[in-house]
Every structure is written in structure tokens, then in C-alpha cells.
């Protein structure tokens, strides 16, 4: 009897562990909330100087859902959009004054002209100072769109896109997942923060649920 118990208990633990790690499937509203919840590891924050930086990783299915949400697209259109997006990986970077209040573009200005320099830089030049580190790979930012709030909100959002590494492309072709830490590096030019790093742990990518359509 003791022998059976010794075998059964570890086996039970394995079954429970496998069940807990099995893919989840969530309806669109619950799926979006899960992706955006900082507790799930795809949304991370760092404070540097007088500013707070927040990074949101956006899976392909999440981006495709947001793109088509207002159009009430069907599953065929959704999968087509995923296919069109698959060559890049997507993030949203948010920069706020730490502690709230004011707007990033107008915080700690040293001159009247600096505001216009910041607008120019964040609108057209930001991507040159951003890159994504994945293991030994450093991937350049290929797209950075500034969603200006025009003082309506202190939030300043930047829609970012980076290429897929050659290693990940190779594994995808073999039907395998590429799980690695992703570190966004920002070499600041105007906010006096120095270099800023925001890391998303590879463990978080293994737990992303499926989207139920």
C-alpha cells in the first residue's frame, strides 16, 4: 500500500501541473484584460528620473483583435490580419511624469524652445534611440508612432514595432516556440533619465491564453 501511495502522489502532482499549464481560452473582453493586467507579466513599469515608463507587449492575436474590433470582423478576416502582422512584434510604450500631473512634453523644460524640440524628437526621431534585446540579438525599432494627448491626458503613448529575430523565424518554421526575455532599451536624449530598460520575462510568454472567437 505504501508503495502505491508513493507512486500515486507524484503522479497526481504531475497531472495537476499539466492541467494548470494547459492553454486557456478566453473571450475577447477577458482576453484583452488578461493581456493588459500587470500581474500577468506582459505589462511592466520602470521609474527613471522624473518619469515613469510603462511597456505593454502585444501578442499578434491581441493586435489583430484591436485592429478589427470596431469592424466586427469574422474569423477569416481575423486570421488574415494575423498573417499580415506576423513579420513584426508589437509593443506600446507609455511615458508619464512620475507622480502624476502635467504632461511629459512640458515637464522639466529648460527653455521655451525645448518643448518644440521634444515634439519634433518624439514624433519623428524616437525610434533611432530604441532597440529590443533578445539574448545575443539587438533588434532595431522599425516603427514608432506617437499618439499625442494634446494635454487632454498626461499619458503619451508610442506604438512600437520591431523585427522578428532570425532565430525565432527558424524555430517558427519548425513549428516551435521561441521563449526568451525581451528587454526594451531606450537611450534618452531629452528627459534627463539616462538609459532606461524595461524587461518582460520569458516565463510570461508561455502563459498567454488563446483568444476565443
Record the cell numbers describing residue 197, joined without a space: 530598460
The pLDDT of residue 18: 37
pLDDT at 100 over 60: yes
| CA–CA distances in Å: residue 141 to residues 125, 145, 158, 164, 181 | 11, 11, 12, 11, 17
pLDDT bracket for residue 152 (50, 70, 90): low
d(CA 120, CA 112): 14
The pLDDT of residue 70: 59
| CA–CA distances in Å: residue 14 to residues 160, 183, 186, 209 | 40, 32, 42, 21
The pLDDT of residue 195: 97
pLDDT bracket for residue 121 (50, 70, 90): very high
Q: Could you tell me the end-to-end alpha-carbon distance of the chain, in angstroms, rounded to an integer?
A: 48
Short-list 184, 180, 136, CA closest to 162: 184
pLDDT tens digit sequence for 196-213: 999 999 999 999 999 988
d(CA 97, CA 94): 10
| CA–CA distances in Å: residue 66 to residues 61, 94, 204 | 9, 18, 21
Q: pTM (2 decimals)?
A: 0.85
Phi, psi (rounded to 5 degrees) for 165 = -65, 160
pLDDT bracket for residue 72 (50, 70, 90): low
CB 91 within 8 A of CB 57: yes
Amino acid at each position: 500500500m505504501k508503495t502505491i501511495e508513493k507512486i500515486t502522489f507524484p503522479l497526481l502532482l504531475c497531472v495537476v501541473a499539466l492541467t494548470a499549464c494547459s492553454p486557456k481560452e478566453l473571450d475577447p473582453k477577458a482576453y484583452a484584460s488578461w493581456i493588459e493586467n500587470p500581474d500577468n507579466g506582459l505589462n511592466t513599469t520602470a521609474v527613471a528620473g522624473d518619469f515613469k515608463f510603462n511597456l505593454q507587449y502585444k501578442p499578434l492575436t491581441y493586435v489583430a483583435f484591436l485592429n478589427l474590433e470596431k469592424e466586427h470582423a469574422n474569423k477569416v478576416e481575423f486570421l488574415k490580419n494575423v498573417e499580415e502582422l506576423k513579420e513584426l512584434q508589437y509593443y506600446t510604450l507609455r511615458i508619464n511624469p512620475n507622480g502624476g500631473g502635467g504632461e511629459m512634453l512640458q515637464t522639466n523644460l529648460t527653455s521655451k524652445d525645448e518643448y518644440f524640440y521634444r515634439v519634433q524628437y518624439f514624433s519623428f526621431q524616437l525610434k533611432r534611440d530604441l532597440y529590443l534585446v533578445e539574448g545575443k540579438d539587438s533588434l532595431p525599432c522599425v516603427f514608432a508612432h506617437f499618439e499625442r494627448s494634446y494635454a487632454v491626458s498626461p499619458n503619451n503613448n508610442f506604438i512600437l514595432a520591431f523585427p522578428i529575430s532570425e532565430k525565432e523565424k527558424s524555430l517558427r518554421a519548425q513549428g516551435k516556440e521561441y521563449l526568451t526575455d525581451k528587454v526594451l532599451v531606450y537611450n534618452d536624449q531629452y528627459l534627463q533619465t539616462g538609459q532606461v530598460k524595461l524587461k518582460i520575462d520569458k516565463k510570461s510568454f508561455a502563459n498567454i491564453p488563446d483568444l476565443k472567437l
